Chains A and B, each alone.
Chain A
């Protein structure tokens, strides 16, 4: 087992690297798209809704296959890592959009009016008043999304990325030590994800305390 540990560590780093890029981009996509939905921006709103439905109702593996095997057919060739990041962002963006959208709508409308009455424009109201309040309510679902997306990286092995799943399958194929390989796989995921979950609940308590609780 000890000899394989470095392999897992390396794979975990790859998972974390692609995962964190994908998650950060997902959050950015989510913030933008939820803003579009919240303000009912004409045209863009339709595009965002279509994207959310498409992305949430197709599996990540299929999306990755499309990027990795489909796009080269029309002359766009992306590295496996790039496909991983884009695929994860494509999937995560819609989940983040929904998490932020429901939290935005949970902020009372009169808060918006009160900010408007101070002469703020739509962007200022969103940035200074509505979004910070929504963020505090969104933390639990955003953390759940982060954990979900990190777990979803396990399908990356399907496009030949040497992630955790890939290493485990490799070791099983090479040495037939199924039990050990899978046990280490579970441990590797737990080591990665438990801190995220714990950090999430700490953050949730902090934000709630600072913002609300009235």
Chain B
């Protein structure tokens, strides 16, 4: 028992060496991390833009007065509702498979497909986050803006959205973390991100433990750093409240 532990420890050095150092494999991990971060950031930007549009359409629709409903807005609102319902009601991996094998079967660039899949997915969640944020701003604020003669969009842009942003930030940070981890699903469609390299190396060296634990640690470190940054930003925004 004691002996086997010593043997195991004895072998760990060479195993780590094979997983990370041999043939400069550490570069592959970093390359994978780069792709993962890229996927996260671009998908999140895409998701936030999409989510903002959906959220503004949905709250503009909800704020209409009875009897004066705009039919175009009504149609857009139904489309947005279908979008959020379908995306939030089906598994992320199933969506990625549908994008890859049903919608873009001939697209070779799997990372591109992953951008779209993750971005569209994230948009649905971000839309609900932003909508909640917009609703959290007191109705008197937009009434005051409109009573001054500002247009609906100016009122949103200068008055409601900046105030909503502060309330949205924590949930948006969570969405970033979720999305960051969900990028690992791109491996299943052949996207060359961090998990893809780790499992390839694991397969090649017949040893999965070091690369998988390695990337787990990398995911964790990024999340910890990000959470810390987010906390700092939130504290700063709160300080401006007390001015």
> Do A and B come together as binding partners?
no
